[in-house]
Chain A
Amino acid sequence: NAGVTQTPKFQVLKTGQSMTLQCAQDMNHEYMSWYRQDPGMGLRLIHYSVGAGITDQGEVPNGYNVSRSTTEDFPLRLLSAAPSQTSVYFCASRNPTGRDEQYFGPGTRLTVT
């Protein structure tokens, strides 16, 4: 199993540009989530999904959209990037009926200039 994968690893955007961060998992996990990690800080929840077709907002959802059309994929969209969205983004997944552990992807480092 590849686990949780994210693309791209690095991205530089100009203010106002849009892009989609990709996240996929091959463990058939129902729960998926997106976190952002700012320098020297903990991870903050952006959006999450408890199954295909179901999404909800986390602690810091403004400026981001998500959708969950399949169990495997959970893309995060930035519609109009702002410098405040410069961060490292981690996708995570979990099997709600299995182990408690949440599995993290390798992260995407995003810089908005």
Chain B
Amino acid sequence: GENVEQHPSTLSVQEGDSAVIKCTYSDSASNYFPWYKQELGKRPQLIIDIRSNVGEKKDQRIAVTLNKTAKHFSLHITETQPEDSAVYFCAARVHNAGNMLTFGGGTRLMVKP
């Protein structure tokens, strides 16, 4: 089955700096790659996603890039703010197998004011 690895597990940045979180996946049949933000005690919330026919997608301060050949994708957050502090999860979905998500282990992002 699909395996998703995420790095780093923790990331501390100064307010205003950029943050980059990287994920790799194993199944070349995966075609959908969402990123979720989870605040303490809350449910995961989708912040951005990308399909395999697109190399990059941007939404204000966040962007995701996908390299299908290398089977990795990254989340980029620019001009970080304290409210960006949370745990971020990447995920991948294979077209078959019920179309369910396989998640990475998560990255705890801390933005220091």
Contacts and interface: CB of A to CB of B under 8 A. Distances in A.
B105 A102 contact: no
Interface of B: 1, 4, 6, 32, 34, 42-46, 49, 51, 89, 93, 98-106
The 4 A-B pairs with the shortest beta carbon distances in the complex, nearest first, are A42-B103, A104-B43, A43-B103, A42-B105
Contacts of B102: 45, 59
B49 A48 contact: no
B44 A104 contact: yes
B100 A58 contact: yes
Contacts, number: 54
7 contacts: A33-B98, A33-B100, A45-B100, A90-B44, A96-B99, A100-B32, A106-B43
A48 B34 CA distance: 19
Q: Which of A40, A43, A48, A96 has the most CB of B within 10 A?
A: A43
B49 A100 contact: yes
A41 B9 CA distance: 10
